[in-house]
Structures are given as structure tokens and as C-alpha cells.
Chains A and B, each alone.
Chain A
């Protein structure tokens, strides 16, 4: 039954990985804006039909 110690240790380790993942996600700002990314992902990355240099304004 001593295997339980190992198994519990491993399961905790896995859980800790998920916790770390969550903390990282919060830290990187993924919870700051829950709306804009949902719109942004639907934009097409259409290539310009003719190679145009970005227009420079004075």
C-alpha cells in the first residue's frame, strides 16, 4: 500500500501543474479582457491584393 504515497504525491504534482497554469494565465492578462479576443479571433488575415507600402502621412 505504500504505493499510495507515491500516487498521491504524483496526483498533487499534476494538480500543482494546473494551478501553475492558471496562475500564469491570470498573470499574463488573459482574464483582463474577456471580450476583445473573442472578436479578434474572427478577423481574417487577408493579404493585401497589391503590395502596398504603408502610407506615410506627413
Chain B
């Protein structure tokens, strides 16, 4: 049984807070409908004013003043409600670690004697106004020379003068206008996102060669210019060869490399027959040109490469602002305050060693497993487990890394290195290194490619055997054209175009996939595994229940008024639940990590908090695992409130739909108290496992996969990271996209969980669309091969068949997916 108590959030107040104002501000807030001039939130009854404009808090007003003084108020004119509510957290020295030489060396992408440049991730930017304000930073401070925003990546590149402004000041400047950059361990050493230009270069080169070679090949296709051909044929041929050579050497390099990699792993992928086809196409053409027999197939060759590169490009477009590869380092801080006999010292987290004493302040993340030495821990593990209620820890307790401290500063002694912690050692599991070994799931395209190779080689051999005794010249022509036509270009285009279209459809509905292969994994899944807390349950909601002697209306009022004073999530929840009129309070004191004590004006005393604080017997009436808050009135324990997780409202419907088709399972880190409820939701066949550690979850997924099941894991916290990684497709659920989500294959917005069954059905339809397009492209190949084995496959036949098949496959694949999307109402 966990007992939690309200705690305060403001860091500067470590002891009991002073008296409350006689009328609590919290309950007044509904009295007004004035919108804050900065952030647009509703203002309290007596808003702060500045030149007649209302503001909800001092933070907002400060930003407005700052922008106003610098003539930057266009900010408010561009977008609707651009302003970001300024959090009260203002800790002096929060960015001091950025002054350290080691940190700067890793963060700055450029540095000269007078200038520095760096790229920062600012997840808060969301509208035109944000771009405008951030790019006008130089007006706020002369030391900033230039600021450029990359909106889709949510990055800002800042150039500043080292003499005028320091790095901590630059970051402080951003934070002061509400755009505090996210600087985490993962950012260190990672230079600004450099988009790969290679594909664009390859594409441009192939397009250039394709256009020109096609023009040069045109005379050959029309017999009326035969005399022209006689004079210029050789010249055109050599020219085409010259143009096609860079395409072979540069643009087509990716296909050859991928085929070679496949072969080295004793694995034939779709790129192998493509490379085979391209190589034979090029060598046959070169032979024809050099021996003066004709102009060769260079137009088909360059065209093929061009179309297939387009396919790659379509498939490669991903979501810039989302990151699918985040591990714990993306969440851990860069620096930590170390306590040494000489005083406080800011050191990089990587330097942290066992035995170090560290100080963790309000809102800071605990970077390593440590023993709490001093202070009241109120640790929010929502990023780890999805559970949003803070956990109380007292001196002497072991605190796991990854939690965020709320409340006063803590002193801790590190007991395990950063990478050896309970949570972080998950990343040492081999599941996290498997990526290099290539796709985990054999795609249909690759399997089709393998049959294709076998068939082609068989046919080519047959052609040799048939024509050999009859006609030597036809034999070579037929043999080479079989190899040429066997290039499964149309086949290779089907997947990228269908999957590319599907990615966009799903992206519109807030399921963001890492790449196209994920669709195939989703379509072939037979088992869905859910995490409980934060995934099936809604972390922002909980059902409150009261157990104990009945409360009088006046007592309820007192509890609600007192609870509204605390910023602790449970108190806030309680105040919302009771929602009564405010009662004048005589006193109100909050004891961090324990509870709160209040006296009404009428003299009635209230204690609200943990069992020990209130004086109730801890083992008392509630043995349930829910979080409880105890109440004592006038020194007499009255009862307690329990907070129960609430399942997402869409859950019963979607689970019922999924249960018909899939095996379902739930892996929870909690106790089995929720077992019966989950059983009712998921049905009798579902596998329910409780008390699962992150490593257990990973092991379960791996074991099921080993038995041949295709697993989809749906989770949210860092403790699911292993399972998400081990599964064929790991879907991370997130409430806000800019928030942290662990490494995964797909990110789903939590509100869309109810459409999971639709998404899975759609991905199956997409896979069927790919297979249908395969059939179409195989028809083209069959036509081509019929011509080829007879020796009738001329350059002109190739010039017609290749673009026709490529283009029609592109169109059909896209249309089929669009049609499927319409059927699923996506």
C-alpha cells in the first residue's frame, strides 16, 4: 500500500509554508472570462494589469513587458494565442553547467575567437509567431547575431558573439520568453541534424541523364530518320554511354551496395535481382555501342534508376520533429550538481561515479540510482512507468534513476553508475544492438525477390539451352534480354509507393510510423501486448472514492478548500472532485512529503495526508493498492480518499474489436489488484502478467517471438523501452507529441488509441494492395519475358514497357491505398 501526501512545489519554500490568504485564489479563478494578453488563459478575478491589458500571472506580464520594450509585439498579431505560459520555476544557476568548457565543446557546432554557433531543440515552438519571435532574438539582445528556425525539426540555430553574451545567457534568454530549449544527454556530441543530401544528388543526376539519353535514343525508334541514325548513331551511342556511366557509378550505388550486404549475410533481397538487371542492362548496352550494333538500352537503364530512386524518396520522407530513437539519454540531464568538500560543482553526468554526492533540485531528474541522504523525496516517475502520482521517499531509501524530483532539494549518494542503473542497464540488452543486423521481419518484397531470382536464372538457362543448338546470335540476344527484363523494377516500386501513401494517411490520423516496414509488421501481427499504467489507463484522470464515516457538507468544504491550496497532484484532484464553495481558512500549513494541516475560521482543524501524518492506522481499512489520502478532523481520523486509475474511455470498444482477431496480453509493473477488471476488459483468453520488471517485459516479448508470433507492443514509459524494442513493432503512446517517448517504431497520440483496430485493419489492406500491385508488375514481367525468350525484346520494346510498367505500378499502388483508406474512413 502506497500512501502519498500532498507536497508543495515551490522550491524556495522548504519548510512549512506561511499562512494562506484568507480567500483561496484557486477557487476564484472561475469568476472571470478575461483572457491573458500573453498566453490567452483565463485570468483570475483581479488580473495583473499593464497598460489596461490583463495578465494571468507575473510570468506572462514579464514576457509581455520584455517584448514590448523591444518592439516585438508583432508576436501577438501573427498567430492565435502564441504565448506560452511561463512556469514559475525560476532557479538561479539552472543553466550554469552550460558555462563549462566541456559542455560547450560538445554543444557548439562552430566556434571562433569571437563567435559561437549552436543548434538547440525547442519543442515548444508551435506557430508562426514562434518562428517570428525566435528569429528576432537579435533584437532582444545585441549579442545574438543571428537566429534561424527549422520549424519542422523544432530547432533553432543561434550565432552569438562570445564577448557580449555567454551560452548560459543565450539559453536564459530563450527561457525568459518561454522557449526553454531541451538540452539532454543525447544532445551532447550530436551535431545539428544534417539531412542527407545524397539521395537528392543521385536523383538529380539520374533525372538529368534520363532526360538527355531519352532524347538521344528517340531517332532510333523512328525508321524515317534512318539516314540520320546512320550518321549519328555511333556518336549518340557514345554520348549515351557517357551520360549513363555516372548514373551507374553514383546514382545506382545504393542498390548494388544493398545487394552486396544481403549476399554477405547469405540473404537475397529484392535489390539483388535489381542489381543483376541493372548490371546486365548496362553491360549489354555498352557492348552494343562499342561494337557498333546499336544504341543499346541506356534510356531504359537511366529511366529505371530514376524511377526507383523516386520510390526511395517517397518512402524516405519521415516526420522531422519526431524522434524514434530516443533512449534514456534523451531524457537525462547533461549536468548534475556534485557536492564536494570544497562546495558545489557542476559536473557532466557522464563523469558521475559511484560514491559521489549530488544535489537534485525541484524539477530536476535523478540521473543515477542513489541513496537519499537528506530531504523529502517526492519523485515523479511518469516518464518511467506512466504513473503520474509522485512517490514519496525518505532519507535512507534507494531512489531509482529517471524520476523527477518535485519539491525541495535532495541530497543523494550515487550507488550505481549512470549506465548501470536499474532502468538504464536495460539498454545493455542485446535487443538494443540488433538494429545493425538489418530488418527483423522478412518483408514480402524481399521474399518475392528471391523467387524472382530463381525464376529468372532458370529461364535464362533455359533460353541458353533452347537457342544454343539453333542460333548462336539469337541465343546471346535472348539470354541477355531475359536478364534485362528480369529487373523487377515495377515490383520494387510497388512497396515504396503503397507504403509511402499509407504512411501519410496514418500520419494524418496521428499514428506516426518510423518507416514503411512498420506497416508490414503491423499488418502481420497476431499478438498485441499492452502496458497498463499510462497506456490502458489515462494518467490524467483518476476516480476518487471516499471510505470512512460520512462527512458533513461543511467538512467537505473545508477539505476542498485546503486541498486547493496544495499543488500536489492528489490534492488538486481532490479539490476538483469535491468542487464546493470556498470556506474561509484561519491557517493552512503544508508539510512536504507528509500532508497538510488547516484550520477553518470556525475553528475546526483538519489534517490531510499520509496515514502516519493524520494519525490513522496505516494498515487500516484500506488494504487496496490504490493511492490513498487520509483525513482527520479535530484530531479524530475520519476516513480516507482513494484514487483509482481510470481506463481510457475508448478502451472497452477497441479491446472488444481487437480481441476477435488478435491474442491480447497485458504486462504491468503493478500488483495484480486490477486483475479482475482487466480480465473483464480483455476477455478470458488474454494473458495478464503483473509485477513485471522492464527486463521481464522484454523477455516475455522475446520468448513469444521465438515461438513464431508476430508481436506488437503498445507502451508508453521508459520501462517499456525494452519490450517496444524487442517487439516486431513497438508503438509508443504519448499525450503530447513533443513529450518524451521511448525508442519505438511508431508514435501514437493517446487520444487515437480507440482507433487502433482501424489502423491495424488499414495496414492489412495496405499489404493486400502491395500484393495486388506485385501481381500487376509480374504481368509486365511475363509479357517482357515472353518477348525476351523469343529474342524479340528490342530497345524500343524496352523503352515502352519499362516506363509504362513503372508509372502504372506507381499509380495503381497509390490509388489502391487511397481506396483502402476511404473504406476504413481514414
Instruction: Spell out A's residues near B (CB within 8 Å).
Output: 1, 4-5, 8, 12, 15-16, 18-19, 22-23, 26-27, 31-36, 39-40, 42-44, 46, 48-50, 52-57
Docked-complex contact B204 and A23, CB < 8 angstroms: yes
Output the least CB separation between A2 and chain B (Å).
Answer: 9
A16 to B151, CA, bound (A): 33
Contacts of A32 in B (CB 8 A): 150, 195
Docked-complex contact B70 and A33, CB < 8 angstroms: no
**Proximity string of chain B (169-213) to chain A, C-beta cutoff 8 Å, 1 when within and 0 when not:** 100110010000000000000000001010011001100100110
A49 to B139, CA, bound (A): 14
A-B pairs, top 8 by smallest CB distance, nearest first, are A26-B200, A36-B151, A19-B208, A48-B71, A54-B142, A22-B204, A32-B195, A33-B150
For residues 130 through 157 of chain B, which have their beta carbon under 8 Å from a beta carbon of chain A? 131-132, 135, 138-142, 149-153
Q: Contacts A36-B131, A39-B128, A54-B141: A19 and B204 contacting too (C-beta < 8 A)?
A: yes
Q: Which residue of chain B has its CB nearest to the CB of A34? A: B152
A44 to B216, CA, bound (A): 49
Docked-complex contact A55 and B131, CB < 8 angstroms: no
Contacts of B169 in A (CB 8 A): 57
Q: Which residue of chain A has its CB nearest to the CB of B135? A: A40
Q: Which residue of chain A has its CB nearest to the CB of B142? A: A54
A4 to B233, CA, bound (A): 12
- B231 contacts which of A1, A15, A19 (Cβ < 8 Å)? A1
- Which of B138, B141, B201, B208 has the most A CB atoms < 10 Å from its CB? B208
For residues 205 through 232 of chain B, which have their beta carbon under 8 Å from a beta carbon of chain A? 205, 208, 211-212, 216, 228, 231-232
Is residue B437 contacting chain A, with contact meaning CB distance below 8 A? no
Docked-complex contact A26 and B201, CB < 8 angstroms: yes
The SS class assigned to the A binding surface is loop
Contacts of A31 in B (CB 8 A): 195, 197, 200
Contacts of A8 in B (CB 8 A): 216, 239
- B197 contacts which of A5, A12, A27, A54 (Cβ < 8 Å)? A27
Output the least CB separation between B751 and chain A (Å).
Answer: 24
13 A–B pairs (Cβ distance < 8 Å), ordered by A: A15-B211, A18-B208, A19-B208, A23-B201, A23-B204, A26-B200, A26-B201, A27-B197, A36-B149, A44-B74, A54-B70, A57-B169, A57-B173
A49 to B72, CA, bound (A): 11
Contacts of A1 in B (CB 8 A): 228, 231
Docked-complex contact A33 and B152, CB < 8 angstroms: yes
Contacts of B211 in A (CB 8 A): 15
Docked-complex contact B195 and A52, CB < 8 angstroms: no
Output the least CB separation between A55 and chain B (Å).
Answer: 5
Output the least CB separation between A53 and chain B (Å).
Answer: 8
Docked-complex contact A35 and B141, CB < 8 angstroms: no
Docked-complex contact A5 and B140, CB < 8 angstroms: no
Since A27-B197, A53-B142, A57-B169 are in contact, a sample of 20 more A-B pairs with Cβ atoms closer than 8 Å, ordered by chain A residue number, is A1-B231, A8-B239, A12-B239, A15-B208, A19-B208, A22-B208, A26-B200, A26-B201, A31-B200, A36-B150, A36-B152, A40-B135, A46-B74, A49-B71, A54-B70, A54-B138, A54-B140, A55-B70, A56-B142, A57-B176
For residues 69 through 92 of chain B, which have their beta carbon under 8 Å from a beta carbon of chain A? 69-71, 74
Is residue B235 contacting chain A, with contact meaning CB distance below 8 A? yes
Output the least CB separation between B208 and chain A (Å).
Answer: 4
Contacts of B142 in A (CB 8 A): 53-54, 56
Q: Contacts A31-B200, A32-B195, A36-B150: A52 and B131 contacting too (C-beta < 8 A)?
A: no
Docked-complex contact B141 and A39, CB < 8 angstroms: no
- B151 contacts which of A18, A39, A55 (Cβ < 8 Å)? A39
Is residue B66 contacting chain A, with contact meaning CB distance below 8 A? yes
Contacts of B128 in A (CB 8 A): 39, 42
Docked-complex contact B151 and A15, CB < 8 angstroms: no
A36 to B132, CA, bound (A): 10
Output the least CB separation between A26 and chain B (Å).
Answer: 4
A58 to B211, CA, bound (A): 60
Contacts of B176 in A (CB 8 A): 57
Contacts of A52 in B (CB 8 A): 69-71
Contacts of B140 in A (CB 8 A): 54-55, 57
Interface size on B, residues (CB 8 A): 38
Q: Contacts A23-B204, A49-B71, A54-B142: A43 and B132 contacting too (C-beta < 8 A)?
A: yes
A50 to B69, CA, bound (A): 11
Q: Contacts A22-B204, A32-B150, A39-B128: A55 and B69 contacting too (C-beta < 8 A)?
A: yes
A5 to B235, CA, bound (A): 9
Docked-complex contact B131 and A39, CB < 8 angstroms: yes
A4 to B549, CA, bound (A): 103
Output the least CB separation between B690 and chain A (Å).
Answer: 46
Output the least CB separation between B382 and chain A (Å).
Answer: 31
Output the least CB separation between B29 and chain A (Å).
Answer: 31
Contacts of B173 in A (CB 8 A): 57
- B212 contacts which of A12, A27, A40, A42 (Cβ < 8 Å)? A12
Docked-complex contact B232 and A4, CB < 8 angstroms: yes
Q: Which residue of chain B has its CB nearest to the CB of A42? A: B128
A44 to B53, CA, bound (A): 25
Docked-complex contact B138 and A35, CB < 8 angstroms: no
Output the least CB separation between B824 and chain A (Å).
Answer: 28
Q: Contacts A19-B204, A22-B204, A55-B66: A33 and B212 contacting too (C-beta < 8 A)?
A: no
A30 to B66, CA, bound (A): 33
Output the least CB separation between A24 and chain B (Å).
Answer: 10
Docked-complex contact A57 and B141, CB < 8 angstroms: yes
Docked-complex contact B131 and A15, CB < 8 angstroms: no
Contacts of A12 in B (CB 8 A): 212, 239
Q: Which residue of chain A has its CB nearest to the CB of B151? A: A36
A26 to B208, CA, bound (A): 15
A49 to B153, CA, bound (A): 34
Q: Which residue of chain B has its CB nearest to the CB of A43? A: B132
Docked-complex contact B197 and A26, CB < 8 angstroms: yes
Output the least CB separation between B14 and chain A (Å).
Answer: 27
**Proximity string of chain B (216-260) to chain A, C-beta cutoff 8 Å, 1 when within and 0 when not:** 100000000000100110010001000000000000000000000
Contacts of B205 in A (CB 8 A): 19
Contacts of A49 in B (CB 8 A): 71
Output the least CB separation between A1 and chain B (Å).
Answer: 6
Contacts of A56 in B (CB 8 A): 141-142
Contacts of A5 in B (CB 8 A): 235
- A35 contacts which of B151, B208, B231 (Cβ < 8 Å)? B151
A44 to B71, CA, bound (A): 13
Output the least CB separation between A27 and chain B (Å).
Answer: 7
A52 to B73, CA, bound (A): 14
Docked-complex contact B149 and A54, CB < 8 angstroms: no
- B152 contacts which of A35, A44, A57 (Cβ < 8 Å)? A35
Q: Which residue of chain B has its CB nearest to the CB of A9? A: B239
A5 to B149, CA, bound (A): 49
Contacts of B132 in A (CB 8 A): 43
Q: Which residue of chain A has its CB nearest to the CB of B150? A: A33
Contacts of B150 in A (CB 8 A): 32-33, 36
Output the least CB separation between B166 and chain A (Å).
Answer: 12
Q: Which residue of chain A has its CB nearest to the CB of B196? A: A32
A39 to B128, CA, bound (A): 7
Q: Which residue of chain B has its CB nearest to the CB of A36? A: B151
Output the least CB separation between A33 and chain B (Å).
Answer: 5
A41 to B336, CA, bound (A): 42
Contacts of A35 in B (CB 8 A): 151-152
Q: Which residue of chain A has its CB nearest to the CB of B211? A: A15
Output the least CB separation between A36 and chain B (Å).
Answer: 4
Contacts of B195 in A (CB 8 A): 31-32
- Which of B151, B173, B228 has the most A CB atoms < 10 Å from its CB? B151
For residues 646 through 675 of chain B, which have their beta carbon under 8 Å from a beta carbon of chain A? none
Contacts of B152 in A (CB 8 A): 33-36
A36 to B218, CA, bound (A): 42
